[in-house]
Amino acid sequence: MDNTGKISGLSVGKYKVKATKDGCESALSAEFEIKDKLPTPAVPTIGEKTAATCTTISVAKVDNYSSYSATDVFAIFDSSNTAIATASVAADGTINGLIAAGTYKIIVTNTQNNCTAEATITIADALPCACYANPNSYSVVL
């Protein structure tokens, strides 16, 4: 303890303080606890859940979603850093609510300590569709 009363250098645990001055000793203080530092959330690992088709954009997934706790909250932002209000992360890690191809940012925040981690999401545009004539209808010209 320094001359201002600041205690430092203690490891995680429970403690009580007793002061001594000029041969006089105080009673033990109330117990206090030094708790372990809350963790920073893991960086989201983004994978593709569904590939783009000729009618739909791709769907992304947070592959390591099961590593997060109830105190971790996800937010998704567009390339202008505007939050996408309709976007969310489902219980299986699927990222829902992105309706256009592009690059997005996903940020996970631990609500107990406000520590964050972020990753980039790339949503692929729908693929060009090939147009084929109906193979069951044809005509023969002689």
Stretch 98-111: mean pLDDT? 93
pTM: 0.66
pLDDT tens, 18-41?
888 888 999 999 999 988 877 788
Q: Is 107 exposed, middle or buried (0-12, 13-18, 19+ CB in 10 A)?
A: middle
Q: Is the dihedral of CA 105, 85, 96, 38 positive or negative?
A: positive
Cβ pair 118, 72 in contact under 8 A: no
Hey, what amino acid is at 13? G
pLDDT tens, 68-79?
988 899 999 999
Stretch 101-110: mean pLDDT? 94
**What integer pLDDT is reported at residue 97 of this predicted model?**
92
Cβ pair 42, 75 in contact under 8 A: no
